């Protein structure tokens, strides 16, 4: 082995009150759900970005580099829980044609929690000295507020795009397309971005709260989880806002559960996930009927899928194979992507792309980057672009779809305020 290989050590530690308190305030790296998860501490060891315009698809290029790094790594993991050992955080662009890059970030230190167990992982080059520094919390910075307003796609423009999509559906070009709109704005320079991650993580505990390379959000939708050869995925498609009181809530959930439009949209999404996973799995199964997933601000139709991995692929490979699902692109996929490129007046960047982590054994958890915003440091402030979308099928109403995007923007807009 040469001296550039990685040496990794994971050890159990005493409980940590708040994992995020140890993250970098300006560039947090985090993956949290119901208090469990992993958070990077300190400067990253490496940021792997595929070359623009390379021959290999970008997600594939990342997976190739990761396989090379992990093959040579010395991993001493005394914990053996999801997220322990050698891990990288990742975010992939939605569209191969996007100007945004896909990235895998390898941290130098990770703090993790799984139930009542906590650990610390250190990752270094074999030629570098061991880091025996005690961990230090970084006090949270002052509260901040951001301002966001209509981006490239105005509310009126969005409804016009929905109408144009409905024309294409009527012409038989496609049966479903997911159209997004954007909000743009800024937050003060030097803002502690961990505050946003913490607000989303505590306000929406059943979602994956994530922060990877300036992409921060709270996704309700698991793209794929791989743990010890078992593959699981949760499909969400079909949405309705929560009611103002118990009766209205019950009426809303009953409406969603019996809505032909939403059930059809959901079935498209489930079938697309099954079709993508089949070549990589054996004994693949999905629940027969969707269940209602209740979030603080809306209901989703949800279906869980489970199978056994038949090939030696990683969670990152499967995330690539599954993306883009019908839930974020449409059906058929190629026609939907082409319609999105024409009907959305902006580049989605990493919105609706895979976000998550992968370990040396190929285990990992990947969600779809929804309810999120990309933060980019500018000369005198931090630029913010937030995104939300809705699935358009025959019978969709432009005004209702616009309202659905408003509901989906709320977690982020509330947290930014």
- Give catalytic residue positions: 176, 221
3-state per-residue secondary structure call for 284-335? EEECCCCEEEECCCEEEEEEEEEEEECCCCCHHHHHHHHCCCCCCCEECHHH
User: Could you count the other beta carbons within 10 Å of the beta carbon of residue 379?
Assistant: 5
Q: Could you tell me the sign of the dihedral formed by the alpha carbons of 333, 336, 342, 345, in that order?
A: negative
Question: Helix-strand-coil percent breakdown of the chain, rounded to 5?
Answer: 30, 35, 35
* Six-digit token string for 123: 């990752």
Q: Distance (Å, rounded) from C-alpha 392 to C-alpha 180?
A: 10
Q: Distance (Å, rounded) from C-alpha 93 to C-alpha 112?
A: 26
Pick from 394, 413, 368: nearest CA to 92: 368
* Six-digit token string for 244: 């103002």
Q: Residue written as tokens 């307003």?
A: 149
Listed in sequence order, the residues at least 6 apart from 132 whose beta carbon sits closer than 8 Å to its beta carbon are none
Question: SS3 for 143?
Answer: coil
Q: Distance (Å, rounded) from C-alpha 122 to C-alpha 119?
A: 10
Given phi > 0 = left and psi -120 to 50 = alpha, else beta, which region is 238?
A: left
Q: Distance (Å, rounded) from C-alpha 308 to C-alpha 59?
A: 23
Q: Distance (Å, rounded) from C-alpha 300 to C-alpha 165?
A: 23
Given phi > 0 = left and psi -120 to 50 = alpha, else beta, which region is 325?
A: beta
Q: Residue written as tokens 């059906």?
A: 331
- Alpha-carbon separation of residue 326 from 85, 322, 364 (angstroms): 33, 10, 22
Q: Distance (Å, rounded) from C-alpha 376 to C-alpha 37?
A: 25
Q: Distance (Å, rounded) from C-alpha 199 to C-alpha 247?
A: 28
């Amino acid at each position: 082995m040469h001296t550039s290989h990685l040496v990794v050590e994971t050890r159990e530690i005493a409980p940590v009150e708040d994992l995020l308190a140890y993250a970098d305030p300006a560039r947090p790296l985090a993956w949290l759900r119901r208090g469990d998860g992993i958070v990077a501490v300190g400067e990253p060891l490496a940021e792997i970005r595929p070359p623009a315009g390379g021959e290999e698809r970008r997600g594939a290029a990342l997976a190739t580099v990761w396989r090379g790094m992990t093959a040579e790594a010395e991993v001493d993991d005394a914990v053996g829980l999801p997220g322990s050992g050698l891990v990288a955080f990742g975010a992939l662009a939605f569209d191969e044609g996007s100007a945004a890059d896909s990235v895998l970030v390898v941290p130098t230190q990770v703090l993790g929690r799984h139930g009542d167990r906590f650990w610390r992982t250190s990752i270094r080059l074999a030629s570098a000295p061991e880091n025996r520094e005690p961990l230090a919390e970084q006090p949270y910075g002052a509260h901040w507020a951001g301002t966001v307003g209509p981006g490239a796609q105005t509310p009126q423009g969005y409804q016009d795009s929905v109408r144009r999509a409905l024309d294409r559906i009527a012409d038989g070009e496609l049966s479903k397309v997911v159209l997004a709109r954007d909000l743009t704005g800024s937050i003060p320079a030097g803002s502690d971005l961990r505050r946003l991650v913490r607000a989303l993580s505590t306000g929406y505990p059943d979602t994956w709260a994530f922060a990877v390379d300036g992409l921060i959000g709270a996704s309700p939708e698991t793209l794929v989880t791989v743990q010890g050869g078992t593959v699981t995925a949760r499909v969400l498609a079909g949405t309705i806002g929560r009611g103002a009181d118990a009766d209205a809530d019950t009426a809303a959930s009953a409406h969603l559960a019996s809505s032909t439009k939403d059930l059809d949209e959901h079935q498209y999404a489930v079938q697309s996930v099954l079709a993508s996973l089949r070549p990589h799995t054996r004994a693949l199964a999905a629940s027969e009927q969707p269940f209602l997933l209740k979030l603080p601000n809306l209901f989703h139709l949800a279906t869980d899928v489970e199978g056994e991995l038949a090939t030696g692929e990683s969670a990152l490979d499967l995330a690539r194979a599954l993306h883009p699902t019908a839930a974020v692109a449409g059906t058929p996929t190629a026609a939907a992507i082409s319609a999105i490129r024409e009907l959305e007046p902006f580049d989605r960047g990493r919105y609706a792309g895979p976000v998550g982590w992968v370990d040396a054994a190929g285990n990992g958890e990947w969600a779809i980057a929804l309810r999120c915003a990309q933060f980019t440091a500018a000369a005198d402030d931090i630029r913010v672009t937030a995104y939300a979308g809705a699935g358009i099928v025959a019978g969709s109403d432009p005004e209702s779809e616009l309202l659905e995007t408003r509901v989906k923007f709320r977690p982020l807009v509330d947290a930014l305020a």
